[in-house]
Amino acid sequence: MSLYEVRAVSYRYSGNGHAVPALADVDLDVHAGEFLAIAGPSGSGKTTLLNLLGLLHAADAGTIRLDGRDVSTLVERERTRLRRERIAFVFQSFNLIPVLTAYENVEYVLLTRPLPSAERRRRTLAALAAVGIVDLAGRRPQRMSGGQQQRVAIARALVRDVGVVLADEPTAALDRTTGRAVMDLLKRLNRDRGIAFVFSTHDPRILAAADRVVHLADGRIAS
Amino acid sequence: MRRAALLLRLSLRNVFRNRRRSLFALATIAMGALGLFVFMGFNRGLMNQYRANTIRARWGHGQLYVQGYRDRAHARPWEHWIEDPSAVMARLRRLPGVLDLFPRLTVSAILVAGEHTAAGQGEGIDGAAEAGFFTQLNYRQGGDFRDRADGIVLGEGLARGLGVQPGDQIRLVVQGGEPLPRSAALRVTGIFHTGSQEFDSRTFRIPLGIAQALLATDRVESIAVALAEVEAWPAFAEAARASLPDLEAVPFDELDRIYYRQAVDWLDAQFAFIRGIILLVVFLGIFNVISMAVLERTREIGTLRANGDGRLAIALGHILEAVILAALGAALGLAAGWALSAGPLHDGVAMPPAPGITRSFRIQIELALADALQVMGLAALTAVVGCLLPVWRAVRMPIADALRHV
């Protein structure tokens, strides 16, 4: 079953009276539990495609269906709700809140849900344990390595039991060994939990871990 | 609840994320709060002292007249004075809040001392009774005439014009009534000043009995009222209206409309202007800090929104942060204001004589809880208003743009 159905989607960035095409006529299916890589050089449209899948942008043309529902024309409030319930993000530069501890960064995204505090605590600690940093729960991001911070960001993505995690160059800010460890972690979580992962990269070594690779070039799917 | 607690903790930590900038903001807000608080205390002290001067120098808390007497000039004013004042005062003494009553009679007279002559406007008063209440009538020389039947006290300007000292004799010649003129020989017992140059240069006071004899009447023109406190006036006036409908009760600020009421209105307007300037400074301080903070955290805001946080929740966090900053700054300012008034300003602020006033003042800084709460509220309100624009801009930014922000 398709998690996402992307049909004839186009998107262009506008500014200063100019419109720059970023994606043109893209068709793509993402299946539940898939570990999908989006590859391509800088400027090929990888981040734009992830933003569209994450409902951060609305497509200029075409349709995107999530769980069979057309999300192309949703208002911002509905998109926010869907992001909260179905989609999580992992960013290249981690994007943790520096004044909160690892535990609080992960717990924060659960606070919009009507969960008892004991259940919230159990889930938060379980997510931190799943990425192997439960012993760093009380530490703030600036006192952690890049790899540890990215693990916190992954725990934050996992804790909500979403359907898909969108990761934009998740290893780009990490050294090769740490990057490999993070990818192994993502792969393991994908296998163990059945969550779909869609990640962008231009690192050929990372692509080897993917179930499927979609190549983008100049805003179009090349293969 | 947990979300509110975490939001509060997040906001508290964010307050001190950039310590130098937050300290600058705190200092700005604290200085604003300090200035506002002390200025409010100064203004309260000034108003209270001015009010006490007005009440205790001349008017009492108010005066009673025959209805309509003050509204127009009368060819034969003595026909419109209060009849049987002893009976009237006996009824007034039973009304709520009344401490004392002072019958009065205005006398326009020519004062003659040797070769010197001056026109004056005086009052016949119950000297012994008034000496206990009208404490702001300060004597430069001598003192009140109390029970002395032929005593007279003069404003210092009038005494200077006549060239008299305590112990000197003065003849008062009165124009009015029948037969005319009448005169009385009086002994100067004191020379006073109220602070008002204009008042002190024409005013004298004599025993009520002499004034009544000079004007050939057993009536009084007015009865001044001393109450337990200023706030008791409305209840007293209401009761007086019910008990003695022929009389009109006029409060001191109406009697002294030209000086007291207008001065109060003028000072209030000045205060509002200064308060506006202080609030503007605080507003700019908060606006600057929040604008910079929001700019720095644009990517963070994008992340929160990507993770499903609504605009309102994010905005509330920043507003809470601004309110915490304002409350901390205001608390520091209030504490500093209290320390200042309890320390260096404990004895008040020395003020030079105001226009038309002959003596200097010391104004006590009268801090009040109501003022502190108002300062705190204004600081919080300013903080909310000051952070609305930058926060609104930030949460309206497209999420993808916010995530790209460096």
Q: What is the pLDDT of residues A171-186, one digit of tens each?
A: 888 888 888 888 888 8
ipTM of the complex model: 0.88
**Which among A54, A107, A120 is the nearest to B306, CB-wise?**
A54
Mention every residue, 6+ apart, whose C-beta is less than 8 A from residue B180. Answer: none
What does each C-alpha distance from B66 to B78, B80, B225, B237, B256 come to in angstroms? 11, 7, 15, 14, 18
pLDDT, residue B321, reads: 84
Indicate whether B177 pLDDT > 60.
no
User: Please, are residues B299 and A95 in contact by the beta-carbon 8 Å criterion?
Assistant: yes
What pLDDT score was predicted for residue B145?
Answer: 84
Chain pair A-B, CB pairs under 8 angstroms:
63
Mean pLDDT value of segment B175-194: 81
What is the per-residue pLDDT across B224-245, written as a single tens digit (0 to 9) for each?
A: 999 988 889 999 999 999 999 9
Q: What is the pLDDT of residue A184?
A: 86
Could you report the per-residue pLDDT of A193-206, keeping only the tens digit for each? 889 999 998 878 78
pLDDT at A213: 94
In this structure, the strands spanning B222-227 and B62-66 are: antiparallel
Residues 6+ apart with CB under 8 A from B213: B182, B184
Note whether B3 contacts A88, CB cutoff 8 Å: no
In angstroms, rounded to a whole number, what is the distance separating the alpha carbons of residues B264 and B242?
A: 30
Percent of the residues in chain B that have a pLDDT greater than 70, as a whole number: 95
pLDDT per residue as tens digits for the range A89-99? 999 888 998 88
Q: Identify the band that residue B25 occupies on the pLDDT scale cut at 50, 70 and 90.
A: confident
User: What's the token pair of residue B31?
Assistant: 């200085």
Lowest mean pLDDT across A39-53, B29-43, B276-290, B310-324: B276-290
pLDDT score recorded for residue B178: 61
3-state SS, residue A68: coil
pLDDT score at A31: 94
B208 vs B129 pLDDT, higher one: B208
B350 pLDDT higher than 90: no
Q: Is B287 a residue whose pLDDT tops 60?
A: yes
pLDDT value for A121: 93
Closest CA to B42 of B320, B381, B319, B275: B275
* Contacting residues of B for A89, CB less than 8 Å apart: 303, 306-307
Considering Cα of B221, then B225, then B231, then B237, what sign does the dihedral take? negative
Indicate yes or no: CB of B400 within 8 angstroms of CB of A51: yes
Q: Report the share of chain A in percent with pLDDT over 70.
A: 99
Band the pLDDT of A79: cuts 50, 70, 90.
very high
B-chain residues within 8 Å CB-CB of A107?
6
Q: Is the pLDDT of residue B352 over 60?
A: yes
Q: Quick check: B99 contacting A, CB < 8 Å?
A: no
Task: Please report which confidence band the pLDDT of residue B205 belongs to, taking 50, 70 and 90 as the band edges.
Answer: very high
**B180 pLDDT above the threshold of 70:** no
**pLDDT at residue B317, as a whole number:** 84
Q: Do B306 and A97 touch (CB under 8 A)?
A: no
Q: B321: which chain A residues are within 8 Å (Cβ-Cβ)? A: none
Per-residue pLDDT tens digits for B79-118: 889 999 999 999 999 998 899 999 999 999 999 999 999 9
Supply the pLDDT for residue B164: 95
pLDDT of residue B70: 83
Instruction: Report yes or no on whether pTM surpasses 0.80.
Output: no
Flag whether pLDDT at B214 surpasses 60.
Answer: yes
Find the range with the poorest average confidence among A88-102, A127-141, B46-60, B346-360.
Answer: B346-360
Provide mean pLDDT across the span B322-345: 91
Give residue A73's pLDDT. Answer: 87
Q: Which residue in A has a C-alpha nearest to residue B401's C-alpha?
A: A56
